[in-house]
Amino acid sequence: MPELACPFQCVFCDQHRISGMEDVPEAHKVIHLIERNLSTFPDGPKTVEIAFFGGNFTGLPGNLQLIYLEIAQKFLIKGLVQGIRISTRPDYIDLEKLQLLRNYGVTTIELGAQSLDAEVLRMSGRGHGPEAVERASKLILQYGFRLGLQMMIGLPHDTFEKSYETAKRIIELGAHETRIYPCLVIKGTALEQMYLRGDYRVLTLEQAVDWSLRLWQLFAEAGVKVIRLGLHPSEGLNGDDLVAGPYHPSFKELVMTALWRDMFEKHSVWPKSDSVIIEVPANELGVAVGHKASNRNWLKKSYREVVFRGKYGQEPQSFLIKPNN
């Protein structure tokens, strides 16, 4: 969905360019989109959600909310999907809105928290303080929804320490999941003017990967699932809409590559051999080898040959190293 019903214009925001959507989806188009995507899933057990993203869902006109919720609920009742997810602003949550969402079977509510630092929120033009996030999170959990709190790193006046404190507060507030987005400078935003004046400096890609890795490790230790790292690639972000910032179409892969590099660096016992085999979980084989084989190439500074093997059933983020005799 395009940007709808947001009472404030955050300095970083142009949802039309970020989401790639210009028009409000009509009911028949929403139904067609859901049916088309459902037809692509293989048979067998699966968990499918209908998600409404891009705008401030609970700030939409009531009749439009009802149209979308009634469509989604029909698929939920038929068992074709297992959940409904919406994204909205923290200051657009109240008991009446939550009751409506629960009546129509919404299962997860994601809040664009972005930061829980008062100065960062103010300088970003969010229009609310940390207390709005705290209040909304408490109500959402009281009503039995799954809570997602999205955060953005590298906002105006942000530091790694402030982002780390935001992540800790997200954990304390009871979030089940989070998303980590590096702040980007998008054409036509207030942030572009700040950047061009020299009043705002973007994170480098290396900084964004490092910050995200350390935050991911904090969330993982606390049992909070990171369901996205980096913005979803779009034609705009891959084209002329991006002015500056740490955008990469494979941002998550870069972060997971860095995670595996960190684990390899901390491993103290390596075989005395010129060739090694490293067994890793099969679904993590690509990131263990590294983006553009960067981890393999780094290890080949110490070994003539480095062989990675994917192993099914192996514990996540675990590996076994043995000489390749």
Per-residue b or e along 3-15, where b marks 16 or more CB atoms closer than 10 Å to that residue's CB: bbbbeeebbbbbb
- Average pLDDT over every residue of 152-167: 98
pLDDT at residue 83, rounded to an integer: 97
Maximum Cα–Cα distance for the chain, whole Å? 69
Q: Which domain holds residue 285?
A: 257-323
For the stretch 179-202, pLDDT in tens is: 999 999 999 899 999 999 999 999
pLDDT band at 61 (very low <50, low <70, confident <90, very high): confident
Please check whether residue 152 is in contact with residue 186, taking contact to mean a CB–CB distance below 8 angstroms: no
The domain boundary, picked from 198, 221, 247, lies at 247
* CATH code: domain of residue 304: 3.40.1260.20
Q: Are residues 138 and 63 in the same domain?
A: yes
Average pLDDT for 55-76 = 93
Domain count, the chain: 2
Tell me the whole-structure pTM to 2 decimals. Answer: 0.91
Q: Is the pLDDT of residue 9 over 70?
A: no
- Tell me, yes or no, whether 208 and 110 share the same domain: yes
Whether residues 42 and 162 fall in one domain: yes
For range 212-226, the mean pLDDT: 98
Tell whether 160 and 138 lie within a shared domain.
yes
Asked if 221 and 305 sit in the same domain, the reply is no
Within a domain: residue 211? yes
Residues 240 and 281 in one domain: no
Q: Is the same domain home to 203 and 269?
A: no
Does residue 7 sit within a domain? no
Instruction: Kindly state whether residues 160 and 308 are assigned to the same domain.
Output: no
Question: How many Cβ atoms are within 10 Å of 297's Cβ, its own excluded?
Answer: 12
Domain presence at residue 292: yes
